[in-house]
Structure 1
C-alpha cells in the first residue's frame, strides 16, 4: 500500500501545500479536527503584530494597523468558506459564547414575531456538550426549554413549541452529516429558526448557508482553519435578521458608536452588534493567516482529497486485515473529514499510537477518532498510520499500563 500511496502523492495537486505547515518530523498528524497544524507564516505574522504594531505602534495601531476592524475583516474572509456574504459573518469570542448570543437572539426574534410562548430549543442527545450546556444555562434562567430528539425523530419533534433547532452539522464523534437544506426547510415550515454549529465543517468541506436559507451559525477557528489553540470563533446571521437582531451581551464594542462613551446602549449595525469586549488582536492575526491559506487552497479541492484520504485509509486497514467497528457513515459523502471507530479500549489504543508518532484522539467512552486535514496530510501518511494501527492491534502493546492512565485532556 505504501508504493500505491507514493503514486497517489506524486499525482496530488495539493501535495505542495504540506510545506506551508509545520509538521513535526516523525509525526503523522490525524488530529487536525481538534487542533490544526501551525501555518509556517503564522510566527512571522505574530512577530510583526507583537514587535511592530504593538511594540512600536502601541495604541496607535488600533487605527494605523486597522486593529479595530479585524473582527469584520476576518469574518468576511470566512464567509465564502461557509456560503455566506461578507457582512453576515464576524469573528469574535468563543463558539460557546457565540452560541449563547445566538440562541438568545433566536428566542428574542420569536418573541418579536408575536410568538413569546415559543421557548423550546430542539437538539439531539449526544450533540457536542457545549451546545447542550448553553441551552441548559438559558433554561435555568427561565428563558428557554430544552428538548432532545434522536436523529430519526427530529422532524416529528418540530412542533408549534419549537423556537429554534440547534444542530452540529458534522457530528464531533462520528462525523455524520445532517442534510442542512432539508432540516432547515422543515424547521422553517414549522415556524422555527435554525442555528448550525459548523465547528467540524468549516474549512473541511463546502457549506452553503445562504443556499440552504440558514438563519444562524457558529464555528471555531482552531480546527480546520488552523488558527491556533483557543483561536477566536465566528458567528453568522442571515441578512434578513440584521435589523431585528438582539443579543444579551451588550458590550461596548457592539455599540453603534463605542467611542462616544454613551451611558445608554445602542446596537451597532448588522453583525457588528454581536461584538462584546475588546477584540483579541493576537488571536485574530493568527486566525487570519490560517483562513487565508485555506481559502487559497480551496475548500472544494480540500474536500475531494479528504474523501480520497479517508477511503484510502479504509482500504489500507482492509489490506492489513484490521477488523474494527466503523461508526462513521461508510459513504464519504455522508460524513465530515474524519473516521471514527468503536473499541472498548479506544483510549489505550490511541495512546499506543501516539507513542509511535501517529496522533489521533479518543472520545469517551469508546471512540477512536482520526481526522483527515488534507492541506498537510499525504497518502503515505495514511498508509503508515494504517500499518501502525494494525501492528498495535496485533502486538497487544496497548495493554501496557502507561497507555491506560488518562491525562486531563483526552
Structure 2
C-alpha cells in the first residue's frame, strides 16, 4: 500500500522519526523540514538586519492576507476571504458576535433573533466563548446535538456555532445541509474547522458558508501556538462589524485617527500587530502542500482509517476496544477514537513503545492520521503495538 501511495514522497518534506509512529497530528502536526531554515532567515536577516524595514520590504504587513489566501485554497475559498491572526478562540468571538449583528440587521421588527445554537459536543472553548458573545449581544445559548442542528434552527435563531469534525469522536458533521437550513431560516452559521482543514475538502464557497474559523497547528502543521484564521464570505464582508476593532483593521491604520473606520474585505478581521515570527513559520509550513490536492489527501485519509480499523480487529483482543468513530466515510474525519478501559495508562504505555496518539478522559484513545506523512506501515504497527499492550503474557486482558 505504501509503494502505490501517490502521497508517499510527501513524507520526506517532514522531520519524521522513522523509529516513532506519530498519530497525533490532530493535536500538533509534525515539523516541515523547510521551517527551521526559513525561521533562521527571518530572525537573522529580516529582523536582525532589516529590522523595521521588513514591514514593507519583506512583506510583513500583508502576511495575514497573503497566508490567508494560501489557506483558502485548502478550505475551498476564493482569495480575499481569509485572514490569519489571533487564536481560534478570539476568532470565534469575532465571528459569533458579527453573525448575530448581521442576522438582526436583516430582519428588524420581525421575530427577534434571540438565540445562538451551539454544538452540544463542541470543544469547550467554543462553548465558553459563545456564552460570552451571547451575554454581549443579549442572546441566549441553546445546546443542540450537531446531527439535529439543521432541524432545530428556526426563526428565533441568529447563528449556529458548529464543529465540522468532532474533536473527541472524529465524527464529520453536515456542513452543506446545516448551512442550507440556516439560510432558509434567515440565520447564519459559524463553522469551526480545526479538525477538518488540511484533512478533507471543506468547500466553504461551494456551500455558501458564512463564517469559519480554525487553528493551523494540526493538519496544517504550522507549529505550536501558530496563528488561527477567520473566513468571512465575500457577500457578508461589507456587513462584518467586528467586536474587536483594532488599529490593524482600520481603513487607514497609520492615520492614527481617534475614530474607527473599518477597512474593506477580510482585513476587517485583523485586530492588533501580527505575530510575525509564528505567522512566517506557518507560511513556510504551508509550502509542503505544493502539488498536493486536498481530494488526494481525503482519499488517503479514508484508506488509512479503514486500514487501521481492520488492523485493530486483527491485532487487538475481542472486546478490548470499541470504536466511537463512525464507520461511514461520509461521517468520518481523519481520526479514529477508541473507547478503552484504562485508556490513560494504555496511551502512556503506547507512547513509551513509540506509538504516539493521545487520550481524552475518561476512556478515549485518539489516533490522528495525517496523510501527508502517515504511512500504512505506521498504521499496522500502531494497531499491533496496541494489541500487545492490551494483552498480557498469558493472553488475558
With over 3 angstroms needed to count, the CA separation of the structure-2 counterparts of 1:216 and 1:185, relative to structure 1, is same
State the partner residue of 1:183: 178
Instruction: Give me the TM-score of the superposition, normalised by structure 2.
Output: 0.95
Matches of 2:288 and 2:133, distance apart in 1 = 37
Shift of 1:295: 4.7
SS of residue paired to 2:19: coil
Q: CA deviation at 1:396?
A: 8.3
1:264 aligns with 2:295: no
Equivalent residue number for residue 45 of structure 1: 38
- Structure 1's 295 and 96: CA in aligned 2 closer, same or farther, altered over 3 A? farther
What is the distance in 2 between the residues matched to 1:315 and 1:289? 36
CA distance in 1 between partners of 2:348 and 2:96 (Å): 37
Q: CA deviation at 1:107?
A: 1.1
Whole-angstrom CA distance in 2 between matches of 1:315 and 1:266: 57
* Residue 29 in structure 1 maps to residue 26 in structure 2: no
SS of the residue corresponding to residue 337 of structure 2 reads strand
Alignment of 1:296-375 (within 5 A): 296-323=291-318, 324-375=321-372
Contact 2:22 2:355 in 1 (8 A): yes
Determine if contact 1:360/1:371 at 8 Å carries over to the other structure: yes
Moved more, 387-396 or 315-324: 315-324
Q: Deviations over 1:319-347 (max 9, x none)?
A: 22443110000123321100001123111
CA distance in 2, matches of 1:83, 1:118: 29
Cα deviation code 1:360-407 (max 9, x no counterpart) = 00112211100000111111111111110000000289xxxxxxxxxx
Q: Relative to structure 2, which stretch is displaced further, 49-58 or 322-331?
A: 322-331
Residues in 1 aligned to 2:135 and 2:98: alpha-carbon distance in whole angstroms: 17
Q: Which residue of 2 aligns with 1:3?
A: none
Please identify, of 38-47 and 388-397, the stretch whose mean Cα deviation from structure 2 is larger.
Answer: 388-397
Q: Distance in 1 between matches of 2:267 and 2:177?
A: 30
Segment drifting more, 104-113 vs 290-299: 290-299
Contact 2:8 2:373 in 1 (8 A): yes
Show the counterpart of 1:282. Answer: 277
Residues 300 and 152 of structure 1: CA distance in aligned 2, closer, same or farther (over 3 Å) = closer
Q: How many residues align?
A: 390
Q: Deviation at 1:108?
A: 1.1
Matched, 1:94 2:94: no
| TM-score where L is the length of structure 1 | 0.92
**Aligned with 1:194: secondary structure?**
strand
- Partner Cα separation in structure 2 for residue 181 and residue 377 of structure 1: 29
Q: Which residue of 2 aligns with 1:388?
A: 385
Runs of 5+ consecutive residues of structure 2 not aligned to the other structure: none
| Aligned with residue 254 of structure 1, among 249, 255, 263 | 249
For 1:396 and 1:252, the matched residues in 2 are separated by: 64
Q: Which residue of 2 aligns with 1:104?
A: 97
Aligned-residue offset at 1:94 = 0.6
Give SS of 1:164's match: strand
Distance 2:147 2:204 in 1: 23
Provide the residue aligned with 1:238 in structure 2: 233
SS in structure 2 at match of 1:86: coil
List structure 1 segments (4+ residues) > 4 angstroms apart after TM superposition.
none
Is 1:77–1:292's contact at 8 Å kept on the other side of the alignment?
no
